[in-house]
Structure formats: C-alpha cells, structure tokens
Amino acid sequence: MNYTEKARLVKEASLQLGASPADLRNRALEAIAEALTADKETIFTANRMDLEAGKDLPRPILGRLKFDEHKLDDVVKGIRGLTGLDDPLRRVLLQRELDEGLTLTRITCPIGVIGVIFESRPDALVQISTLCIKSGNGAILKGGSEARHTNRALFETIYNAGISAGLPAHFMELVEERAAIDELIKCSDSIDLLIPRGSNAFVRHIMDNSDIPVMGHAAGICHVYVDKDADLDMAVRVIMDAKTQYVAACNAAETLLVHEDIAPALLARLPQGPDSPVEFITARGEEDYVEYLDYKMTVKTVRDVMEAIRHINHYGSHHTDCILTSDPDTAALFQDLVDSAGVYWNASTRFADGYRYGFGAEVGISTGKLPPRGPVGLDGLVTYKYKLKGNGHIVGDYASGKKEFHFRDF
C-alpha cells in the first residue's frame, strides 16, 4: 500500500473518530494503558534490539532511546491522566441567537489527521498517539529509525487495543521508511496538520515543501536578559539552569544579554576558565547569535531593557525569553514587548514545556504567531466549526430589510 492511500484511510477513519463519544475514546485509552502493561516484555525485548543496534550512539541519545519499566510507568500514568481530563471536543465556545429561530454555535471539533515526525524517544509515540485519540484526531506517525523495533511494538499494542475497544480501523498508522515523508507532505487532501520535530534543517525542509500547515519551530534561540537591578545570585542560578540543565533542548538559552551597569559584577560571578561547565563567548556580531545546543553561550552587554527587547525580537526565534529583574515595571515592559510564545520573569527558559505547564503532555512547541502557540497539548489539537440552525431562514429577508438581526448570546 502506498502512503497516499494510507493517509486517505486515516482521513476516512478520522471522521468517525471525531464523531465518537468521549466515553469510547476514554475506554480505548484505558484499554491501551492496560495493554502496554500486559505487553511490556515484548516491548522491552524490542527496545533491547534497538539499544543493541545503536550501542555506538552518543550516551544522551541512548538515554532517550531506552524504554524500561520506569518509562512505561510514566506513559501509563500519562494516559490515565488524559482519561481523567474533560473532553476537548464539542465544547460550545459561542452560542448566539442571530434572529428568532436562527441560532449560531461555535463548537470545538478535531483538526482531522495529524502527521507527526518525531525523534528517537519511543515514549513520544505513546504520548502523541494518545493525545490524538483523546482529541479525536487521526494520526500518522513517523518515529526515529533508531527506535524502529520499539516503535513497532508500541504501535501494535496501542493500535490493537484501540481497535478492540471500538476505535475505527486505521485510526492511526505507523510509517517506518524515511522516503515516506516526502510523499506524505504532499497529501494535503488527507493530512490537515504536520508536526515535524527534529533539526532546524529538517523542519525547514518540511515547511518549504508542503502545502499542509506546519506546527513547530525551526530554531530555538532563547535569551536570558539580566537587568541592572537583578538579584545576582538568582541571575547566576537561572542562567546556569537555562543554559546547562539540558543543552540539547530547544528551550535552552543561547544568548545572555546583560545591562551594562551590572555586567562587571555579574560576569565576575559566572564560572570561568577550564573548570566552567559553560564557555561564555563575548559577542562579536551576528554570527554569534546562534543556537548552540551545547555548553556555550554568547554574552552581549546592552545599554538598557529596550536594547535587549530589540535584540531579542530581531535575533531570537520567538520561542522563550526571560528577564531577570526586581523591578515590576521593567518586567512588564519586557513581557509586553518581547514578541515570543513565552516571556518569563525570574524563571528559567527550560520551563517551556507542555508537561511543566500542566498540559499532561505536548505534541510539540510552536513558535508561529497564530494559535496554537508555545507548548501544544490537548487544547491545541482541536479547532472549531460553526453550526447554524434555522427554519428556512434566507439572507434575502435581511438584505431587503424585511427582517433584522438581534444578536443575543445565551
């Protein structure tokens, strides 16, 4: 079967899934949680094959690739958390009588079919597929090839449990060949949203080659700005966390901006020399305002908060940026004028994450301007439609003045 046909089948299933009662979707999630536990030995065996095949991979990648009892517990807990959440579908956002007998309702509905291309964390497969089930969306999943066996085992457990619980055939599909991606991104008739997670170049490739809306971020150039009246101890603690707590993450800080009045005192407190976990690089120019994803950080001195704001809006990636200050007015100015999905005051940029925002899990982080923006959880996987109910109402009567709208929300 070719991928276009696969996508078409998921599209057809997604209509049924989207119209299904919350109860059915929750029962399927519960069945999936149980099946993952029941099938755990098969899954762990598959994971050992991936770990063995990838034994020369860098240690952090192996850590993400590992799927053990601990990760299983986490995803099962995550699924039970989802089951407990209110149904995101058929929520009435607006209810308005336009005229007697003519009623408009804006109501949430699924987006349709979501294509997610994700990295080597097999737990991502569980999170994404269960978020899609809960939100009534069909899913086409392409995981990292390093996790091929684990992904296949997880997919089979989830798919079979879902089908047994009554979800429609093809409610999700797994795609294993990298070549599939270039075919799938052309399926704008069947796929409604693409969520590519991966390198900048890869995300950019998808954005440039598909007519399908893409949710995600190409770069994560996050800033920490230290204003003149920041608490220096706090500043050092937040800078070190934002930079080093997990350098490979998109929400790790890359550039440190420092108010000139506090720069000497702050820089004296930052770790320096060969024992420092971070290399602080004094900015020479444009070429230093980059995403390192490494233990490196560009440092630039600025005259004031406005210069910091301008710098961030110009060189940043509209992801997450932070100000350290004890002045609420300066913080408010920064949080109003910095044009990013996350604008933080006295907290590490590393908090930008669906789990840490209390969304249960996330399918990705969007740096686009339109909603959904920032970490995207369940709420970001639904859209809405307008239902209008009349009893033979025609526009001619309003155009001629025979009738008039009265617009009453209820």
CA-to-CA distance for 208 and 118, rounded, in angstroms? 18
| Shortest Å distance, C-beta 239 to a second copy | 10
Kindly state whether residue 295 participates in binding a second copy, applying the rule CB under 8 A: no
Q: What amino acid occupies position 355?
A: Y
Kindly state whether residue 341 participates in binding a second copy, applying the rule CB under 8 A: yes
Task: Give CA 236 to chain center in angstroms.
Answer: 28
126: nearest Cα among 75, 165, 89, 85: 75
| Shortest Å distance, C-beta 17 to a second copy | 11
Residue whose CB is less far from a second copy, 183 or 231: 231
Kindly state whether residue 350 participates in binding a second copy, applying the rule CB under 8 A: yes
Kindly state whether residue 213 participates in binding a second copy, applying the rule CB under 8 A: yes
Kindly state whether residue 391 participates in binding a second copy, applying the rule CB under 8 A: yes
Kindly state whether residue 370 participates in binding a second copy, applying the rule CB under 8 A: yes
| Shortest Å distance, C-beta 42 to a second copy | 30
Which stretches of 135-192 are assigned E, i.e. beta strand?
138-142, 172-175
Angle at 252 between CA 247 and CA 253, to 5 degrees: 115
The answer for residues whose C-beta is within 8 angstroms of residue 225's C-beta and 6 or more apart is 256, 257, 258, 259, 302, 305, 308, 312, 321, 322, 323, 324, 334
Residue whose CB is less far from a second copy, 202 or 398: 398
At 207, is the secondary structure helix, strand, or coil? helix
Which 130-149 residues touch a second copy, going by CB under 8 A? none
User: Binding segment for a second copy among 33-41, 140-148, 176-184, 336-344 (CB under 8 A)?
Assistant: 336-344
Kindly state whether residue 192 participates in binding a second copy, applying the rule CB under 8 A: yes
Kindly state whether residue 385 participates in binding a second copy, applying the rule CB under 8 A: yes
The count of other CB atoms within 10 Å of the CB of residue 249 is 15
| Shortest Å distance, C-beta 368 to a second copy | 7
Using CB under 8 A, which of 1, 201, 268, 399 touches a second copy?
A: 399
Residue whose CB is less far from a second copy, 61 or 98: 98
Which 78-97 residues touch a second copy, going by CB under 8 A? 96
Q: By CB under 8 A, how many residues form the interface with a second copy? A: 71
33: nearest Cα among 82, 79, 85, 87: 79
Using CB under 8 A, which of 173, 241, 254, 362 touches a second copy?
A: 241
Task: Check if the beta carbon of residue 226 is closer than 8 Å to that of residue 266.
Answer: yes
Kindly state whether residue 202 participates in binding a second copy, applying the rule CB under 8 A: no
CA distances to 111, 306, 391, 401 from 8, rounded to whole Å, are: 15, 51, 36, 46
Using CB under 8 A, which of 396, 401, 402, 404 touches a second copy?
A: 396
Using CB under 8 A, which of 222, 343, 363, 378 touches a second copy?
A: 343
User: Binding segment for a second copy among 30-38, 157-165, 277-285, 369-377 (CB under 8 A)?
Assistant: 369-377
Kindly state whether residue 24 participates in binding a second copy, applying the rule CB under 8 A: no
Task: Check if the beta carbon of residue 50 is closer than 8 Å to that of residue 147.
Answer: yes
Which 245-264 residues touch a second copy, going by CB under 8 A? 245-246
User: Binding segment for a second copy among 48-56, 174-182, 256-264, 399-407 (CB under 8 A)?
Assistant: 399-407
The count of other CB atoms within 10 Å of the CB of residue 286 is 9
| Shortest Å distance, C-beta 67 to a second copy | 19
Kindly state whether residue 44 participates in binding a second copy, applying the rule CB under 8 A: no
290: nearest Cα among 366, 219, 205, 197: 219
DSSP string, 85-105: SPP-TT-EEEEEEEETTEEEE
Query: Phi, psi (5° rounding) for residue 383?
Result: -125, -160
Residue whose CB is less far from a second copy, 182 or 336: 336
| Shortest Å distance, C-beta 204 to a second copy | 10
The count of other CB atoms within 10 Å of the CB of residue 314 is 9
Residue whose CB is less far from a second copy, 54 or 342: 342
CA-to-CA distance for 288 and 11, rounded, in angstroms? 45
